[in-house]
A and B are shown apart, each in its own frame.
Chain A
Amino acid sequence: MLKWAFTSIYSSSLTMMRNKRRITYLIIIIATVALFSYQSLFNQSVALSKNNKEALGEQLAGIREAVKSDLTKNTQIFLTYPVEDSKDEFTTLYTYLSLGLLDKNPPKNVCKQFSYELSKEEFIQTKESFYTGIERLYYSMKLIELCNQEEITERTIKDAEVSTKKLYHSTYYKEGYFLSDEFKEFKDKEGYEEVKFFQTHMMLKLGKKANIDFSPTKETIAEWLNYFIKDRKDPLFIRHYIESMNLLNIDPSPSIIDKLSYDSIIQKDYYEFNDLLTIESLTNMHMKKWVTLSPEELLSILQKITGSHSQFANIQQQYYVLSIYSHLDQLDKYLQKDKLIDQYKRYVYPDGMMPLFSQTSNPYSTYYSMVVALKSAEEGDVSAIQLQKYLSGFLKRTNVEDLMDLDAFEILSYIHLKEYVDDSFQHTKEAEIVAEAIKDELPSRVNAGNIIKTSYLIDSLALLEEDLNEDELPENTSEIIKNLSQGKTKLFDNSSDFSNLLFVNSLAATGKFSKELKEVVPYAAKIKIDLSSQVPAYELYQKTLFLKRMGIETDDNKIADQLIKLHNGLGYKLNEEQSFKSFYATIFLNRLNHILLGEEIHHDQ
């Protein structure tokens, strides 16, 4: 079209002008204007609006900060993924217990939900949940107590009383302790004394609220508690012992406090979960003035817990950290409050329940996702250097044979990581070996089952800057391009726009088939990204990347709007209907975000 315009202008100029020099000048001017127009039309995207630029910048920064925190504090926040459609009682309980310490009450719907569960007979009978029997009722009641008390019905209070009384009678053992049915068959085995001790404490607390008269069994229970505490010095036991005795209206011996031993735990460099439990009890006793911790001890505790921000990567641990802050009346020093609440809002289901959280441990793509996130980090960024240093050692432990057994996206991620630590990797002997191994993996023909794998293998070869011969590629490669350019997009019975785009994108990355791939542009440009469909995040990334590689103008503001809609907290969702960020969607769309903001340059054909 442009060529035609140029020829036409040139011909008419010839007839009008006789002076050769003037014609030459005119041609130069016209050619310059034509070239400029071409560039503006096809090579430059419409600039991002200020709002979109800011929003995308914030998304990049949010992800980057989470990755930095994971790298420097080992918080594992970025690598924590809520499991779509899952609901988890354990996480829900500890979430609201944590938020309760931050003066945020559970919402009405979750209070209703737990009240409803409590009304069921099987609530205290099931053995399927993580907490069962006494523990399940105890933690659920702790949550219900945080609810707006005006909203707690008489029925709920009655149900709690009924369950408590049932448990009180069914879990009591004549020796003087309480134990839920789940543990009954193991009760005489080593290690269950502590289970009995804590469940007795919980039962006494529940019983007190349900106005149960302890007097018939009080002495036997106290006797058992005294037997249990005899040789124990840990604040965790002593605190719960004193509380239990108080619930029985028996004064514990004042000398019990003298037995306390906690110096070595306070002085530890790092508090593990069990240490946190001990410190939590110790600070609880300090708050109640049962013991007095020195300013040095208090400072030491605060210093250790300051770096502990596991949040939803380990909400139970976070709860105990918050509880320590609370006992020391130092909650204002917990600087992650807004972040925790913000994340909670993103993860909570409409009924107030929380999902199960999982962490990815894919061997290479996990780190590749972090490398993408740190792409826009400032020069000399500590966490980026730390990652680079770690990866240098980690990647050395890979051998090519093992690598080839992995998912093709892991192979691609591995090469990205190798380049991250050594930008001359493509020219090394190892790269050559990897490239040969990948070539051996390429199938003779692309089919419905291998199109995704084949695409990532070709992408990997392109990243290794392999100068591929077309005959090294699957034999139906040209046929696929031709079909797509003719609008025959159902390559196989189960073809998808995503796999089609992925395949042509991988070919575009090799620099081969330039002319043929341009013919695929009309098909790619026509693909509509429906955010409510199943995998729009993948399609959006592949489509945009392909069009940009082909030098086609993309509506970056529209793409930015779609990124904004798919963004959820620390990552990107697979589609608008999903609640949580997805692993691959986050890698792809974070990369796309970098491209839109000009932080990463895509390579044109």
Chain B
Amino acid sequence: MGAKKKIASTLGGLAMAGAMILGGTAGTASAYSDSVTDPISSLPGNEIQSNIWMSNTYFYQTQRYQVSAKFLGYNPPNADWIKTAWTIKANGLGVSIGGVSGGSASGNTLSGTWTNYNNWISDYSGSYNISGVPISGSGNNTASFLARGVKQGATASIFRFY
């Protein structure tokens, strides 16, 4: 049975995670943050966690963000690689993102990835500035890993007003 579970790995599995409805586990969010933890059925006892945090600053101030991917558990304790990949977007009037530290911006979108090897965590923090009139925005972070041949991902998302 244990062997079978590992199989899911190679056949893929970029399963999305999100708020489970009724009886499930809602993402634990505060201010502008989200955290999603998904079990890894092929690695019993281990979980993949995706986190995203965006600062609660005025839109005309420097915006900060933090993202992370965590491979939780001891079966095994470290992933062969663990990656955090994020996209932040602002919608409004004539919005563009610039002054980026961490990731790269194009128009109203900022994105980036960071991978660590033989580790349980991959995290990143950066900043950016918004020009124009942002009204609402979103942030997604996909945490993915490879461990014992299992590759899987989980996505945390934020929808917010500026």
Mark A residues whose CB is within 8 Å of B: 70-71, 74, 76, 79-81, 83-86, 90, 130-131, 135, 182-183, 185-186, 189-195, 197-199, 232, 234, 236-237, 272-274, 277-278, 313-314, 316-317, 357-363, 365-366, 386-387, 390, 394, 402, 405-409, 448-450, 452-453, 456, 494-496, 498-499, 533-535, 538, 574, 582-584
CB of B146 within 8 A of CB of A186, answer yes
A residues in contact with B92, CB < 8 Å: 496, 534-535
CB of B30 within 8 A of CB of A448, answer no
Q: Is the interface of B mostly helix, strand, loop or mixed?
A: mixed
Closest chain A CB from B142 CB (angstroms):
8
Instruction: Output the nearest chain A residue to B19 by Cβ-Cβ distance.
Output: A361
Would A363 and B26 be within 8 Å (CB), given that A194-B7, A358-B157, A494-B133 are in contact? yes
- Checking B19, B80, B133, B147 against A359 with a beta-carbon cut-off of 8 angstroms, the contacting residue is B19
- Checking A278, A405, A538 against B135 with a beta-carbon cut-off of 8 angstroms, the contacting residue is A538
B residues in contact with A574, CB < 8 Å: 91
Mark B residues whose CB is within 8 Å of A: 3-24, 26-27, 29-32, 34, 36, 41-42, 58-61, 76, 80, 87, 89, 91-95, 109, 132-133, 135-136, 138, 140, 144, 146-151, 153, 155-162
Known: A130-B153, A359-B19, A390-B23. 13 other contacts (CB 8 A): A183-B149, A186-B80, A191-B147, A194-B7, A195-B9, A195-B10, A277-B11, A359-B155, A406-B30, A409-B160, A496-B93, A534-B93, A538-B136
CB of A272 within 8 A of CB of B41, answer yes
CB of B148 within 8 A of CB of A274, answer no
B residues in contact with A185, CB < 8 Å: 80
Closest chain A CB from B46 CB (angstroms):
12
CB of A79 within 8 A of CB of B148, answer no
Would A449 and B58 be within 8 Å (CB), given that A387-B22, A538-B135 are in contact? yes
How far, in angstroms, from A76 to B149 measured CA to CA in the complex? 28
A residues in contact with B159, CB < 8 Å: 360, 362, 365, 583-584
B residues in contact with A191, CB < 8 Å: 6, 9, 147-150
Would A535 and B12 be within 8 Å (CB), given that A361-B36, A361-B156, A390-B23 are in contact? no
Closest chain B CB from A39 CB (angstroms):
36
A residues in contact with B14, CB < 8 Å: 90, 130, 316
Would A70 and B21 be within 8 Å (CB), given that A277-B11, A496-B135 are in contact? yes
A residues in contact with B138, CB < 8 Å: 583
In the complex, number of A-B residue pairs with CB atoms less than 8 Å apart? 196
- Checking A232, A456, A495, A496 against B161 with a beta-carbon cut-off of 8 angstroms, the contacting residue is A456
- Checking A236, A361, A538 against B34 with a beta-carbon cut-off of 8 angstroms, the contacting residue is A361
Closest chain B CB from A360 CB (angstroms):
5
B residues in contact with A449, CB < 8 Å: 58-61
CB of B87 within 8 A of CB of A74, answer no
Q: List, sorted by A's number, 18 A–B pairs whose CB atoms are closer than 8 Å.
A: A80-B18, A135-B10, A183-B146, A189-B148, A190-B76, A273-B8, A316-B15, A358-B18, A358-B155, A359-B18, A359-B157, A361-B34, A363-B29, A365-B159, A449-B58, A494-B60, A535-B91, A583-B138
How far, in angstroms, from A217 to B51 measured CA to CA in the complex? 47
CB of B30 within 8 A of CB of A83, answer no
